[in-house]
A = this chain, B = another copy of it.
């Protein structure tokens, strides 16, 4: 659990269908469709890869916009939670590579919330899948700052958010929550305030002693590396936060 990141995933997840809907408009290069259609015109097919915090929030908004939504995840428990929350308004699929290919190439909007760290690793959305997608369809790659899920993804900015590959509009803004700065600021403050208050009220030493979340955030103390991963990366010796603080 990363308590400070969850609000940012909520914001990004809720923005993703909104960004996708905008990109599907003709003026943004999309195929010119409404996510929800209208009575008599079928809704758009939205495929959400990853059903975690961002994926759940994306599903909620995409359903609210009236789209035909399918959520893909490797965890059955995640998909069960979606069914419990959204009932028959969501479809769920356990993602094998072949099924993902079928869903992605049949989609009007793909929202990916999964992260595939490491450049060499095979990506969920391959270049071939992108080439097989419909002209004017859209990919929103929410986790682009962690590498993104599409082989064709590269980070963009709010001032120039999209580019087109093989006729598919890519929205890969690296810092999506920055686009709704006021909402994000409040959300982040809500999550950080308890920690800030603890630091201010108790002093940092006591606060870290009382809360393992805070202690985990200590990287260096009194000349000693107290973060195992950093120590290993730098080939330096590691001291546990508790030891370092006690010293």
Given contacts A32-B183, A66-B61, contact A7 B42 (CB under 8 A): no
Contact of A27 among B18, B26, B88, B159 (CB under 8 A): B159
Are A26 and B180 within 8 A (Cβ)?
yes
Complex CA gap A84/B35 in Å reads 17
Are B66 and A63 within 8 A (Cβ)?
no
Query: A33 an interface residue at 8 Å Cβ cutoff?
Result: yes
**Chain B residue with minimal CB distance to A1?**
B77
Seed contacts A37-B183, A38-B187, A41-B183; 9 additional CB < 8 Å A-B pairs: A14-B34, A27-B158, A32-B179, A40-B76, A40-B92, A40-B94, A40-B190, A41-B93, A42-B70
Are A94 and B182 within 8 A (Cβ)?
no
Query: A224 an interface residue at 8 Å Cβ cutoff?
Result: no
Are A39 and B80 within 8 A (Cβ)?
yes
Q: Is the interface of A mostly helix, strand, loop or mixed?
A: helix
The residues of B that contact A31 with a CB separation of less than 8 Å are 182
Are A61 and B36 within 8 A (Cβ)?
yes
Complex CA gap A223/B12 in Å reads 55
Are A76 and B11 within 8 A (Cβ)?
no
List A10-62 residues whose CB lies under 8 Å from chain B.
10-11, 14-15, 18, 21-22, 24-27, 31-43, 57, 60-61
**Chain B residue with minimal CB distance to A11?**
B38
Contact of A182 among B18, B33, B64 (CB under 8 A): B33
Are B92 and A39 within 8 A (Cβ)?
yes
Query: A91 an interface residue at 8 Å Cβ cutoff?
Result: yes
Are B11 and A34 within 8 A (Cβ)?
yes
Query: A5 an interface residue at 8 Å Cβ cutoff?
Result: no
The residues of B that contact A191 with a CB separation of less than 8 Å are 76
Complex CA gap A159/B28 in Å reads 9
Query: A82 an interface residue at 8 Å Cβ cutoff?
Result: yes
Query: A204 an interface residue at 8 Å Cβ cutoff?
Result: no
Contact of A179 among B26, B42, B67, B96 (CB under 8 A): B26
